[in-house]
Structure 1
Amino acid sequence: MSMKEAPYFRTEMTPIRSVHLSPTQIPANITEAYRGLHRIIDCDPAYGAAWKLGGTTAATQRIFKVNKLYFGPLHEREVAVLPSAAPAFQTYELKGEAEIALRIASTAADFLRADRKNTDEAPLSMLFDAWCAALELPSSPIENLADIGVTALIADRCAAGFLALGRAHPVDDFTNWAGSVLRVKQDGQTIATGGSSALLSPPDICARSFIIEALAQGFSPRPGQWISTGGATPCVNFTAGADISVCYNDHEELRFVAGIGTA
Structure 2
Amino acid sequence: MTSLSETLLKARENQTIAQISEDDLPRDHIQAYACSLAQMEEIGAWKIGGANPWSRSVFDNREVFFGPLHPREIFLEDDHLPLEGLVAPLAEPEVMLEIGDPRSDCMAERFVRMALGFEIPATVLPECLKPQFMAQISDRGGAGAVWISAIQPFDEDLLAHGFEIQLSKNAAAPVRGSSDNVINGPLGAAEEFFRLAPKYDMPVAAGQWIASGGLCPALPVVSGDTLELEAWGQVLRLRFS
TM-score normalised to structure 1 length: 0.82
Q: 1:155-188: per-residue Cα shift (whole Å, max 9, x none)?
A: 1111111101111121145342534112222233
CA distance in 2, matches of 1:255, 1:38: 32
- The answer to whether residue 85 in structure 2 is matched with residue 90 in structure 1 is yes
Which residue is equivalent to 2:129?
145
- Whether contact under 8 Å (2:48, 2:193) holds in the other structure is yes
In the alignment, residue 88 of structure 2 is paired with which amino acid? E
Which residue is equivalent to 1:72?
67
1:1-263 superposed matches below 5 A? 6-7=3-4, 10-12=8-10, 13=12, 16-19=15-18, 21-41=20-40, 44-45=41-42, 48-87=43-82, 89-105=84-100, 108-109=101-102, 111=103, 122-142=105-125, 143-147=127-131, 149-252=132-235, 254-258=236-240, 260=241
Q: 1:191-213: per-residue Cα shift (whole Å, max 9, x none)?
A: 43201110111211211211121
**Structure 1: runs of 5+ lacking an equivalent:** 112-118
Q: 1:55-113: per-residue Cα shift (whole Å, max 9, x none)?
A: 211222231121101100011111111223213533111321101111101xx15x1xx
- Whether contact under 8 Å (2:129, 2:135) holds in the other structure is yes
TM-score normalised to structure 2 length: 0.89
Q: Which has the larger radius of gyration?
A: 1
Q: 1:11-56: per-residue Cα shift (whole Å, max 9, x none)?
A: 2455521245322111121110111123223xx12xx200000121
SS at match of 2:217: coil
- Whether contact under 8 Å (1:15, 1:92) holds in the other structure is no
Alpha carbons of structure 1 residues 144 and 178: separation in structure 2 relative to 1, 3 Å: farther
**Structure 2: runs of 5+ lacking an equivalent:** none
SS at match of 1:73: strand
* Structure showing the higher helix proportion among its residues: 2
- Deviation at 1:190? 4.0
CA distance in 1, matches of 2:72, 2:13: 11
- Whether contact under 8 Å (1:192, 1:236) holds in the other structure is no
- Deviation at 1:243? 2.1
- Whether contact under 8 Å (2:121, 2:145) holds in the other structure is yes
SS at match of 2:36: helix
Alpha carbons of structure 1 residues 62 and 20: separation in structure 2 relative to 1, 3 Å: farther
In the alignment, residue 239 of structure 2 is paired with which amino acid? V
CA distance in 1, matches of 2:91, 2:124: 15
